[in-house]
């Protein structure tokens, strides 16, 4: 029986995503709190600055 093999370039994709990244690392909890606070600020500003 013949085996089915995927494309050979698949190994390159895996090694690309496994490469260590340089840059800022954010705590997910902190990021979610910041997004929530920004959203609340936008809603409050929209409420006070709304053009009737």
In tens, the pLDDT along 3-45 reads: 565 555 555 555 555 556 677 777 889 999 999 999 999 999 9
Q: Where are the domains of the chain?
A: 25-52
Question: How is residue 42 written in tokens?
Answer: 């936008």
Q: Quote the CA–CA distance of 51 and 29 in Å, as a whole number.
A: 35
Q: pTM of the entire structure?
A: 0.50
Q: Residue 20 belongs to what H/E stretch?
A: none
Strands (E), 1-52: none
Q: What is the pLDDT of residue 26?
A: 79
């Amino acid at each position: 029986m013949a085996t089915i093999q995927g494309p050979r370039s698949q190994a390159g994709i895996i090694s690309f995503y496994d490469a260590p990244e340089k840059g800022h690392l954010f705590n997910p909890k902190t990021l979610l709190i910041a997004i929530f606070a920004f959203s609340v600020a936008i809603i409050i500003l929209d409420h006070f600055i709304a053009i009737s």
